[in-house]
Amino acid sequence: MRRVEIFDTTLRDGMQGIEVSFSLSDKIQIAHKLDELGVDYIEGGFPLSNQKEEAFFELVKKETFEHAKIAAFGSTRKPNHTAREDAHIRALLEAETEVVVVVGKTWKAHVEKVLRTSFEENLEMIYDSISYLKEQGRKVIFDLEHFFDGYKDDPTYALRVLRTGTEAKADCLVLCDTNGGTLPSEVQKIVAALPKDQLAPLGVHFHNDTGNAVANSLLAIEGGATHVQGTINGWGERCGNANLCAILPTLALKMNIDSSTAPHIHKITSVSRFVAEKANIIPDKRQPYVGEAAFSHKAGQHADVLSKADYLMEHINAKLVGNERRILLSELAGKSTVLDKLSKYGTFEKNSEEVESLIQLLKDREVKGYEYEAAEASFDLLIRKTLKIYKPLMELNNYHLESYKTWESPSKTVGRIFLRINGKDVMGAAVGVGPVETLDAALRNAIEHFYPFIKDISLTDYKVRVLNPETAGTAAKVRVFISFTDHHENTWDTVGVSENIVEASWEALVDSLDYYYNTFILS
């Protein structure tokens, strides 16, 4: 079985993506998660770029990794200098990593317009930089920047760059699609044409500007590449990098290609979500393998087939990648869908009274604007109420909110809420900016003495959808979705619907707390 090296650049190239930022502590924690996943190389960043990157390499020296090797990233020496005296090369050595990544130019247009030097000097820069780093005892991965564009422009010169890297004893020659514009058919032809038996081992690094980074990576591996680079969740410059969350399971489960991550592939979903949490980015639900939608089924017919032969509707078992099947509730749902949701509460048949009741309840509420495929916690509460095992957190007497604004001062909202908890009347109060924020704060103020767990859960997302703007204008009905987390592994979503956005928010908010109380506190 052929083996492929896995090189992760989330902490360098991934951080160049829009809205992606990690603290120094985040980077260390992510590095350990990648090590647990079995990644061979973790690119830590460019030591010369800023103080945080420099501090990372100082701090990571004190860390212990079971498998992964940390790599420092830099470029070849400047024109008409020597590698020994070059600041970039010195920074790579001072990072004291066993592995270094050196970027060099392959496209003649870049040599002329960016480096402003001769083609021969560019080759000297590459040879001098790699050979000097090898003399210093480093493992050198040579990234051939813009390789595919360079090869299409002048294949002879691109091949000379490859041979130069080989002669300088580079450990791996990484063919980079830096612009991300190369198509799969081109990748296949170019990789097939290379004299692989005369070159150092080949790797690939693709960007996703045509949406083909994963496909390009897999085709290159089929063509003989033994090293692949990418990022968790596919983050990176512009449209991102090749997504390791798609590449790694495909190699292990579809292509029968060995890698150090293959025995740990069941961790890929948790790693994907951990990295997203550290970046404070909501995970993409539609990601292959690791997204919430990857093994989600909406149509009742699909749910029925799954109960008979799941392989007919799912290309792999979700557990292989640490994900789980979700049966979504919608107007398309049938009895099989509802039965699946009921199964954790006991054994029911399709003609059970409870199934019939829930089917009708689901359809009635969806007519009113409710939608449960993205709010399964709210539907779970409907099940509990139907089965008469639901216990409310509290009873509402009333809430009162007053928003005001004076001249140029910021707007404020004052809120009071009156509840009954365990037979006692309680009050909560808060001042905030918006009414929903204030209502949430007042509710917490009222109940935290009775339910300390409220301090451990928090809102992570809040969405509003106007349902009938054409006919009702500003009096339109709205649907509110709220996402909560307990900052461990539990997340849940609820829904509320009303012509009053505060009332819709209140309904979703109370469902969120009731769900947690019934599911994790009482059980």
Q: How confident is the model at residue 469 (pLDDT cuts 50, 70, 90)?
A: low
Higher pLDDT, 342 or 146: 146
Q: What is the pLDDT of residue 299?
A: 56
Q: How confident is the model at residue 330 (pLDDT cuts 50, 70, 90)?
A: low
- Cut 0.85: pTM above it: no
| pLDDT average, residue stretch 81-96 | 94
Check if the beta carbon of residue 331 is closer than 8 Å to that of residue 369: no
pLDDT tens, residue by residue, 210-235: 999 999 999 999 999 999 999 999 99
Q: How many Å apart are CA 9 and CA 6, to the nearest integer?
A: 10
Boundaries of every domain in the chain:
5-279, 296-367, 395-521
- DSSP H or E segment with residue 445: helix 435-447
pLDDT exceeding 90 applies to what percent of the chain?
A: 75
| pLDDT average, residue stretch 249-277 | 95
Per-residue pLDDT at 303 exceeds 70: no
HEC secondary structure over 386-436:
HCCCCCCCCEEEEEEEEEECCCCCCCEEEEEEEEEECCEEEEEEEEECCHH
Q: How many Å apart are CA 417 and CA 120, to the nearest integer?
A: 77
Q: What is the pLDDT of residue 390?
A: 96
pLDDT tens, residue by residue, 397-441: 999 999 999 998 899 999 999 999 999 999 999 999 999 999 999
| pLDDT average, residue stretch 515-520 | 96
Per-residue pLDDT at 106 exceeds 80: yes
Q: Name the H helices within 85-198.
A: 87-94, 108-110, 119-135, 147-153, 155-167, 184-193
pLDDT exceeding 70 applies to what percent of the chain?
A: 94
Q: Which CATH number fits domain 395-521: 3.30.70.20, 3.20.20.70, 3.40.1080.10, 3.30.160.270?
A: 3.30.160.270
Per-residue pLDDT at 301 exceeds 70: no
List, in order, residues 6 or more apart from 276 with CB less than 8 Å away. 233, 282, 283
241-255, 287-301, 349-363, 460-474: which is most confident = 241-255
pLDDT tens, residue by residue, 138-156: 999 999 999 999 999 999 9
Per-residue pLDDT at 200 exceeds 90: yes
Q: How many Å apart are CA 14 and CA 232, to the nearest integer?
A: 8
What are the b/e assignments for 463-490, b being 16+ CB within 10 Å?
eeeeeeeeeeeeeebbbbbbbbbeeeee
pLDDT tens, residue by residue, 118-137: 999 999 999 999 999 999 99
CB atoms within 10 A of CB 59: 15
CA distances from 307 to 58, 61, 189, 243, 330 (A): 54, 51, 44, 32, 18
pLDDT tens, residue by residue, 70-79: 999 999 999 9
342-351, 466-475, 511-520: which is most confident = 511-520
Q: What is the pLDDT of residue 324?
A: 84
Q: What is the pLDDT of residue 488?
A: 80
- 5-279 — its CATH code? 3.20.20.70
Two tokens, residue 312: 């007919």
Q: How many Å apart are CA 420 and CA 226, to the nearest integer?
A: 65
Per-residue pLDDT at 468 exceeds 80: no
